[in-house]
Structure 1
Amino acid sequence: MANHKSALKRHRQSLKRRARNRISKTRIKNTVKAVRVAIEEKDVAKAMEALKDATSILDRAARKKIIHQRQAQRRIARLQVAINKIAE
C-alpha cells in the first residue's frame, strides 16, 4: 500500500475510475447483448431499436475514453452488418 499522500490520493482516484468504467462496460455488454438477441429472433425492428441504443452508449463510452474509438465503431459496424443480413 502507498505511504505518500499523493500516492494515496492517486489510489483513491483509480478506485473511483475503475468503478465508473466497470459500470459503463457492463452497460455496453448488456446493450450489445440485446441487439444480438433481437438478431437471433430475426426481429429487424427490435434489432434496429436496440442498435440505436447501443450506438449511443458505445459512442459515449468512446468519447469518455472507456473504450477505444475504433473499437466502438467496429462493434457498431458488425452489429449493423448482422442486422442487414437478417433484413434481406
Structure 2
Amino acid sequence: MPNIKSAEKRVRTTAKRSLRNTSLRSALRTTLKKFEATLNQNDVEQARLALRIATRALDKAATKGIIHRNTASRKKSRLTRRFNAVTKQSAAE
C-alpha cells in the first residue's frame, strides 16, 4: 500500500482506468463477434452494417488507446477482406 498521497491517488486512478479499458475492450470483442456471426449467415446487407459498426468501434478503441492504431488498421483490413470475399461468393451464386 502506498504511503504518499499522490501515490494513493495514482492507485485509484489506475484502477478506474483499468476497469474502463477492460469494459471497452470487451465491448469491442463483442462487436467483432457480432460481425463474424452476421458474416456466417450470408446476409450481405446485415454484414455490411455490422462491418461499418465494427470499423467504427475499432477506430474509437484506437483513439482511446485501448488498442494500437496499427492493430486497429490491420483488423479493419482483415474484416473488409473477409466481407469482400463473402460478397463475391454470394454474387457468383
Q: TM-score, normalised by structure 2?
A: 0.90
Stretches of 4+ aligned residues off by more than 2 angstroms = none
What residue in structure 2 maps to residue 9 of structure 1?
A: 9
Alignment of 1:8-87 (within 5 A): 8-87=8-87
Which of structures 1 and 2 has the bigger CA Rg?
A: 2
Question: Any unmatched runs of 5+ in structure 2?
Answer: 89-93
Tell me which amino acid in the other structure corresponds to 1:85. Answer: A
AA aligned to 2:23 is I
Instruction: Give the TM-score of the pair, scaled to structure 1.
Output: 0.94
1:3 match: secondary structure: coil
Root mean square deviation, CA, Å? 0.8
Distance between the aligned counterparts of 2:3 and 2:52, measured in 1?
A: 47
Shift of 1:41: 1.1
Percent identity of equivalent pairs: 39
C-alpha distance in structure 1 between counterparts of 2:19 and 2:28, whole Å: 14
Q: Deviations over 1:49-76 (max 9, x none)?
A: 0111111111011011111001111111
